[in-house]
Structure 1
């Protein structure tokens, strides 16, 4: 993705240099970020428009069928397992995991940038989720809840947070230079956690399956925007450092 972004920015830079008499080196990067922002806002608007089908009979049948299938496996042992999994997608779970990642990233890279990016992704995703819940205003399922919940239902904050947090970790680890088998194993674990956290919310009776799908979609839109944003910022930072070294 980075090579494609660099190629687009180079071509865009050439066009701007030809059209503008007073050219600003930062202009292509600012416009790229602005375009990425437009894309994510457009994606969210499309997401909100699609939520109108939540009241359809097709979605109701889908929710009921999937929910009945998942909760049919309920047992005291699975209850504990899924309660633990759902905790991995809760605020306190993310705080602990972020602290562990901060220590790991600092020991490995001696920088805090990845942790700051992770916090940015999670904080804005959380605020966006609360806003979307208020706009859509969907009540929780009537099924017995195995954990306490206070907010509205759609989209699932756990599903959106799982995509944002573990999805961002997938992006980071995919770009890290490390043993291929170890990297593959880590990426599979993160992917499994995203899916498991989503399923846990239906199993525990606090979300409809469509809530989970909506959370995954909203989280995916957000993480794509963040990846593009961080890629552009990284390219800009490296080019600026290179120019400074040449001037010295």
Structure 2
């Protein structure tokens, strides 16, 4: 009896770590990433709402960047930020969506159409839940009346470039191309996050929480759509 239970447990673990199958390695990796990212977001939210040490660091970083702002860097950061507003993200999504359509990557197109807009709605809901005020300066570089935690620009960038990196890592056979595209996408997310902190629109913890939030949501969306694809493929066999 114990041997049978152990054998079933081993088969279960092997199935969860198998690259194939409806509920194999992709589901295990997705759930692990979801749990880890959600835990990071939860810790950041708890520390921010409890006014822990990170809020002191937030103020120090915000005032340092504000005191050291200079041209042409300020204009460059404004450009980066503007490119990832709602209108900018629509243009980026349209371009990537057209590419997915052209190469017949239907499930990736579905992931794009689901993950980024729904992630934006999730971000708005979280902003109104936490209702954290934005950084305040006597002479601000940007003035916004919405809430600060977590960063919407950083969230959208993480969702978009995270999905793009996931696709390229899977679709490109050469490891150096995979590594280069993954690093490029990661740098774009960091650049958008930096622009929001530099411009005084967000605190450091705002952009970190946005990354964690969006990684968790992206894991949900990609894993769900990947599972859907595998289930449909299994039915056709």
Output the TM-score relative to the length of structure 1: 0.75
- 1:95 counterpart residue number: 90
1:140 to 117, 121, 134: 134
Check 1:61–1:225 CA distance in 2 against 1; reply closer, same or farther (3 A cut): same
2:79 to 84, 91, 112: 84
Give a deviation string over 1:26-56, Cα, whole Å, max 9, x none: 9x79xx79x96xx969975884575232142
Instruction: Quote the RMSD (CA, aligned, Å).
Output: 3.2
Check 1:6–1:72 CA distance in 2 against 1; reply closer, same or farther (3 A cut): farther
- 1:23 counterpart residue number: none
Q: Write the distance in 2 (CA, Å) between the matches of 1:7 and 1:227.
A: 19
Contact 2:107–2:229 at 8 Å: present in 1 too? no
Question: Is there any run of 5+ residues in structure 1 with no aligned partner, and where?
Answer: 14-25, 243-248
Alignment of 1:157-172 (within 5 A): 157-172=152-167
Q: Which structure 1 residue ranges, 4+ long, deviate > 6 Å from structure 2?
A: none
- 1:19 counterpart residue number: none
Matched, 1:7 2:15: yes
Which one has more relative contact order, counting CA pairs under 8 Å at least 6 apart?
2
- 1:17 counterpart residue number: none
Q: Residue 72 of structure 2: SS of its match in structure 1? A: helix
Q: CA deviation at 1:176?
A: 0.6
Contact 1:159–1:194 at 8 Å: present in 2 too? yes
Give a deviation string over 1:106-137, Cα, whole Å, max 9, x none: 33x23443222112101111111111111111
Output the TM-score relative to the length of structure 2: 0.78
